[in-house]
Structure 1
Amino acid sequence: MSVRNIAVYDTTLRDGAQAEGVSFSAVAKVQVAKRLDEFGITYIEGGFAASNPKDMEFFRLIKTVPLKHSKIAAFGSTRRANTAPEEDKGLAALLEADTPVCTIFGKSWLLHVTEVLHTTPEENLAMIADSVRFLKEHGKEVIYDAEHFYDGYKDDPEYAMAALKAAADAGADCLVLCETNGGALPEEVAQITKAVVDAFGIPVGVHTHNDGELGVANALAGVNVGAVHVQGTINGIGERVGNCNLSSVIPNLMLKMNLECLPNAKNLKQLRALSQFVYEQANMRPLTKQPFVGESAFAHKAGMHVDGVRKVSQSFEHINPELVGNQRRILISELSGASNVFLKAIEMGLEVDRKSPEVKKVLKQLEQMEKEGYEYESADASFQMLIKKVLKKHKPFFDLEGFRVINERHDPEEGCLSEATVKLRVGDDVEFTVGEGDGPVDALNQALRKALVRFYPVIADVVLKDYSVRILDPEEATAAKTRVLIESGDGSNTWGTVGVSENIIEASWEALVDSVEYKLFLEEEKNKN
């Protein structure tokens, strides 16, 4: 029995770019397209050919890029009402884009035909047929997106099917049913998609949105009844609350439904890296709780769960995280048990017994630290430093002799200037440095890095990616205890550290020190191996 192949159509660069706060440059779009091609996406929709110069610039640039797997598609609409295809500017732009595939959308819902286009039902059918035929005559693969199809079918199934027939009879290569408003339920999508699959002898696809939190479910429902083409975006970014999330659809198709949608099944291991790359290019912070690819997708916190995962991983994990390029994470909190600490120590390469006194010491210290306001779920690096200290395996890379921070403001029209001085000892050497920054923490960070880089050049790779503060006892007003969380990275790894104090500068310093010590610890472990 042959495995059914599903064509994946990515519209991140067009539909995804309609998300609030997202804007891709033409160069960034090329970089994303290259990664999508490496991953094995069937179609990459580059943009709306008639909408803006940036999209046309992308189509020009992508021609110079040799692609291994993907076909580039230009997006547009059917001709305007009462306009010949040869005279329609939108269709002319599609030809100018010079892509092998053209995707055009047309109306399936009479409400849109009469109230939005202000034309007749007959003219709308002619617009669809003329546009598809025109593009086919110019040698294009034509994908027809039937906009608002499910709403149109529920309103008038006969007319919605007539709109598809107009496209099919004119030579469309694929009929894509668009759930544009995002409000349909999976059983509706399945029923209507099956009716279309049964009625037409050409490939049928689905394009769903996530307004009802059902974008992925609706796409899978369509595939389950015969659709062989799925449209969506990486990470589900898109207009309003987003599109169907290909980062979830693809592993579900391959791992749960035994369907092929990539040229090489091993490419699935690149999924998390692709997700992170698209977030970066879109200038978006990754959604940690995103299924399959999120940082928390395989994170375990409760001691009972961790113990279960340690014994039989599938007892609390629906797939092996490595299949999608992710990894298991053991979280540490007041809910932690000996299994959490044991597995975390194993991660660090420490040889400990789960029932050893050392594990109990770590749990006791953890309990005490959390009473003082420390929280280690987002500060994995600080917890690893804590383990090493409790187990007396911590070797300080430097000793602090003192630091000072000064904030000055001389001109009311300008902001404050922060200056920090740091004095520390590395072996027999004493280093005294000064750093300036936009704020006291930035100045401290600059001074600390400057003091250490002579002894540990890898410190230059460390970048502060995020800084957050939480007031733990606001009733104490200005004397309240503060928790500072810092996220750092070096281009390959990302780690979190925490500091707690009534003094926000001291709390920040503590988190900063853990951050650089953890980097040095990573480097030390790498050199051992």
Structure 2
Amino acid sequence: MSSNIFIFDTTLRDGTQGEGISLSADDKLKIAKKLDQLGVHYIEGGNPGSNGKDIEFFQRVKSLNLNAKLTAFGSTRRKNSVAEHDANLLKIVESGVPAATLVGKAWDFHVHIALQTSLEENLAMIQESFAFLKRNSMEAMYDAEHFFDGYKNNPEYALAALKAAKDGGADWLVLCDTNGGTMPNEIAEIVKRVKAELDMPIGIHTHNDCELAVANTLAAVGAGATQVQGTINGYGERCGNANLCSIIPNLQLKMNYDVLPADQLSMLTNTARYISEIANVHMPVGQPYVGNAAFAHKGGIHVSAIMKDSKTYEHIVPELVGNKQRVLVSELAGQSNIISKAAVLGLNVNTNNEKTKQIMDHIKQLEHEGYQFEAADASLELLLRKAFGDWKPAFQVESYKVNTERKQEHIVSEAVVKINIDGQQIYTVAEGNGPVNALDTALRKALAQQYPDIEHVYLTDYKVRVIDETDATAAKVRVLVESTGKQNSWNTVGLSGNVIDASWAAIVDSFHYALLSLQKVNVETPNQASQAQDYVGLTNI
């Protein structure tokens, strides 16, 4: 089966209605540019008359010269009014975009309760609003709100709402499962009936309240819908919208629809992670296709099998969506994990190597004590390189100390660090807003004398986990640190009964890895350098 499916991205509109998501005009412009590079066909920018951010966005987005069709969002005219005088519709036309989506009621219950008007007036609102857009030469899409609930309650009226939009000149009839409560078999059956009743292009817009938004979207496409509306990472109100990061590869790689060119499909993972950074929302590690763990393997039997053929435990080649295979090393791992990991690093290791067994036992002991290497690939790489004699540390730590005191209304931390580089002792002092920031600054200051590129390394995330809460304040703590450089990001781990010491261990590993990375290939991942500019060091820890 091969036919064109049009991707309508509403991250900048419906996605921003998700709890905890707030995008500035600058954020929205960055995301619009990224979505355009991915190759989506429509980008819904928001409501050009609703708030200052959206107004600014529509003014500035013109300079981006997007290939995607920029779309404005609004609603049908107000009841008992005239479309030509409706402020919302006028703002849409004045925005200068080529396309618009209007939401209108398709459920008689909503017409009576929410709009508090007659069924006839609602149909007139729909038809006249679309006629107004078409008189202004815009591509027009009707988001039939609550369509599936409306159809199940009163199919004749739900279809009448679609016919009113068609009579007004709408180019697309988009069927919305606004409450997210419809089942896939219902979606498929109703879409087929609509297709049989109306000779019009059909779109689908689903919500994830039953965790079926992706399944419902695929069911609608199978029944004849050719426009898919959704958001990156499934952002949206309540439980979210249909997740385009799952829908796009499912349509293209599993159902053989033409969606995106292969080179743009391979940008999907980078796009998902970039937008999650802009939105300041951490992606679930197990998110299908684009998550960090989507192609991660931990069990020794699994790793042994994928070393023979990755198809044994991977349903697609990860690179098709821009992701990559990861082998995790933990207390559950076997020698296959170590061998696979070492092979990626270019180390010559095999099952007959006694050192392999020793390092495996050592890792298991460290994880038993509280370390966690599956979330700290950089610390693991340093451990393996050191064990197999492939790494000489760029510096040695001789000592450190940190002092925190309150000066009037301010808390100031001071760190003293003494390191050795090739026999040269370097002693530095630095202040910070917190003890970890002070240590990070002091170590960076010492290393910069010999390695100036270290200034491009940023501490971007910091997590503390108490290993055994029953030990109260005497418990060991595990610190995970995420750092970012010009070319990549990496994670390191530290463990101690002292949170400062655990933090210091993770920071030292981070800088060791950064200096190791500087010796590697100097080719930047697309957009990674520009992303690094958006990171801000955690200066209050």
CA contact (8 A) 1:175 1:203 kept: yes
1:449 aligns with 2:444: yes
Corresponding residue SS for 2:81:
coil
> Which segment is superposed worse, 10-19 or 474-483?
474-483
AA aligned to 2:279 is A
How many Å apart are 1:27 and its aligned residue? 2.4
Give the aligned partner of residue 83 of structure 1. 81
Q: Please state whether the residue corresponding to 1:227 is helix, strand or coil.
A: coil
Q: Identify if the C-alpha distance between structure 1 residues 37 and 393 changes in structure 2 by more than 3 Å, giving closer, same or farther.
A: closer
Cα deviation code 1:427-454 (max 9, x no counterpart) = 1311110111122111111111111111
1:280 is matched with: 277
8 A Cα contact 2:331 2:368, kept in partner = no
- Give yes or no for the alignment of 1:432 onto 2:432: no
User: Contact 1:8 / 1:42 at 8 angstroms: preserved in 2?
Assistant: yes
What residue in structure 2 maps to residue 357 of structure 1?
Answer: 354
What are the superposed Cα offsets for residues 181-202 of structure 1, whole Å, 9 maximum, x if unpaired? 0111111111111111111111
In 2, the alpha carbon distance for the partners of 1:302 and 1:309 equals 11
Cross-structure match for 2:4: 5
Pairing partner for 1:258 from 239, 256, 269: 256
Please name the residue that 1:366 is paired with: 363
Distance, in Å, in 1 between the alignment partners of 2:141 and 2:323 is 34
- 2:265 aligned partner: 268
Question: 2:534 matched to which residue of 1?
Answer: none
Q: Give the AA of the match of 1:461.
A: H
| 2:26 alignment partner in structure 1 | 27
Q: How far has the Cα of 1:212 moved from its partner?
A: 0.9
- Matched AA of 1:356: N
RMSD: 1.5
Q: Could you say which residue in structure 2 is the equivalent of 1:213?
A: 211
Identity %: 51
Question: Deviation at 1:415?
Answer: 3.8
Candidates 510, 518, 522, aligned match of 2:517: 522
Q: Deviations over 1:113-154 (max 9, x none)?
A: 011111100111111111111111111111111000000001
Q: Which amino acid aligns with 1:369?
A: L
Post-superposition offset of 1:527: 7.4
Amino acid at match of 2:102: I
1:488 to 483, 505, 510: 483
- When structure 1 is superposed on structure 2, of 101-110 and 44-53 the one drifting more is 44-53
Q: Give structure 1 regions of 4+ aligned residues with deviation exceeding 4 angstroms.
A: none
Aligned residue pairs: how many?
523
Opposite residue 382 of structure 1, the aligned amino acid is: S
Name the aligned partner's letter for residue 418 of structure 1.
S
| 8 Å CA contact 1:14, 1:46 repeated in 2 | yes
CA distance in 2, matches of 1:410, 1:41: 54
1:114: which partner in 2? 112
Amino acid corresponding to residue 455 of structure 1 in structure 2: Q
Paired with 1:29 and 1:174, the residues of 2 have a C-alpha distance of 25
CA shift, 1:475, in A, is 3.0
In structure 1, the residue matched to 2:461 is 466
- Which region of structure 1 is more displaced relative to structure 2, 275-284 or 238-247? 275-284
Greater displacement, 480-489 / 337-346: 480-489
How far does residue 474 in structure 1 lie from its aligned partner after superposition? 3.1
Give the aligned partner of residue 408 of structure 1. Answer: 405
What per-residue deviation string (whole Å, max 9, x for no partner) do you get for residues 228-260 of structure 1?
Answer: 000011111111121101111111111001001
CA deviations on 1:343-369 (whole Å, 9 max, x unpaired) are: 111111111223321211111111221
Partner of residue 340, structure 1? 337
Give the residue type in structure 1 aligned to 2:397.
L
Secondary structure at the aligned position of 2:165 is classed as: helix
Change (3 A) 1:367 1:27: closer
- Aligned pairs for 1:284-363 within 5 A: 284-363=281-360
Could you tell me which runs of 5 or more consecutive residues in structure 1 were left unpaired when the two chains were aligned.
Answer: none
In structure 2, the partner of 1:378 is: 375
Moved more, 9-18 or 505-514: 505-514
| TM-superposition CA deviations, 1:70-127 (whole Å, max 9, x none) | 1111111111111011121111111111111111111000111011111100111111
Asked if 1:387 is matched to 2:384, the reply is yes
**Cross-structure match for 1:56:** 55
Deviation at 1:508, TM superposition (A): 1.5
Paired residue type of 1:36: L
Change (3 A) 1:249 1:28: same
Q: Separation in 1 of the partners of 2:32 and 2:473? A: 51
Deviations 1:259-287 (A, max 9, x none): 0122x232100111111121122122233
How big is the shift at 1:67?
Answer: 2.1
Q: Tell me how far 1:16 sits from its aligned partner.
A: 0.8
CA gap of 1:65–1:469, structure 2 versus 1, over 3 A, is: closer
Q: Is the contact made by 1:361 and 1:390 (CA closer than 8 Å) also made in structure 2?
A: no
**Residues 519/340 of structure 1: CA separation in 2 closer, same or farther (3 Å cut):** same
- Give the aligned residue type for 1:226: G
1:169 aligns with 2:183: no
SS at match of 2:520: helix
- Give the TM-score of the pair, scaled to structure 1: 0.96
- Cα contact 2:347–2:388 (8 A) shared by 1: no
Contact map agreement 1:233 1:244 (CA 8 A) in 2: yes
Q: 1:419 aligns with which of 398, 407, 414?
A: 414
CA distance in 1, matches of 2:497, 2:240: 42
SS at match of 2:173: strand
The aligned residue for residue 15 of structure 1 is 14
* Separation of aligned partners in 2, 1:207 and 1:60: 27
Cα pair 2:106 2:146 within 8 Å, conserved? yes
Question: Secondary structure of 1:294's match?
Answer: coil
Answer with 8-17 or 474-483: which moved more: 474-483
Distance in structure 2 (CA, Å) of the matches to 1:75 and 1:460: 44
Change in Cα spacing, 1:431 to 1:293, as seen in structure 2 (3 Å) is same
TM-score for both structures, normalised by structure 2: 0.94
- Residues in 1 aligned to 2:411 and 2:63: alpha-carbon distance in whole angstroms: 49
Q: Secondary structure at the match of 2:518?
A: helix
Residue 405 of structure 1 aligns to a residue in which SS? strand
The whole-number CA distance in structure 2 between the counterparts of 1:311 and 1:305 is 10
CA distance in 2, matches of 1:410, 1:265: 59
Q: Distance in 2 between matches of 1:53 and 1:489?
A: 33
Structure 1 counterpart of 2:19, one-letter code: E
